[in-house]
Amino acid sequence: MCPIPLNWKLGDPILSPVEDMLSLDPVEIGSKATYKLLIGAIVPRPIAFISTVNSQGICNLAPFSFFNGVSSNPPAVMIAITRKSHGEKKDTLRNIETTHQFVVNSVNEWMVEPMNQCSAEYPYGVNEMQTVGLTPLPSQKIQPPRVKESAIHLECELYDTLNVGDGSEGSSTIVIGKIVMLHIFSAAYKDGRILLEEIKPISRLAGTSYGHTNDIFQVPRPKLFQK
Ligand SMILES: Cc1cc2nc3c(=O)[nH]c(=O)nc-3n(C[C@H](O)[C@H](O)[C@H](O)COP(=O)(O)O)c2cc1C
Cis peptide before 74 (omega within 30 of 0): yes
Whether residue 53 contacts residue 143, with contact meaning beta carbons closer than 8 Å, is answered with yes
Residue 177 phi, psi dihedral angles, 5° rounding: -115, 135
The topology (CATH level 3) of 44-208 is: Pnp Oxidase; Chain A (2.30.110)
Q: Is the CB of 205 under 6 A from ligand 1?
A: no
Q: For the chain, give every domain's residue range.
A: 44-208
Tens-place pLDDT, residues 105-149: 999 999 999 999 999 999 999 999 999 999 999 999 999 999 999
If DSSP codes are grouped into helix, strand and coil, which group holds residue 75? Answer: strand
Query: Which amino acid, one-letter code, is at 15?
Result: L
Q: Is the CB of 65 under 6 A from ligand 1?
A: yes
Q: Is the CB of 95 under 6 A from ligand 1?
A: no
Q: What's the rounded Cα separation, in Å, for the pair 162 and 179?
A: 18
Q: What is the mean pLDDT of residues 44-49?
A: 98
Tens-place pLDDT, residues 162-207: 999 999 999 999 999 999 999 999 999 999 999 999 999 999 999 9
pTM for the structure as a whole: 0.95
* Cβ-based neighbours of 117, under 8 Å, separated by 6 or more: 128, 131, 132
Q: Whose CA is nearest to atom 4 of ligand 1?
A: 64
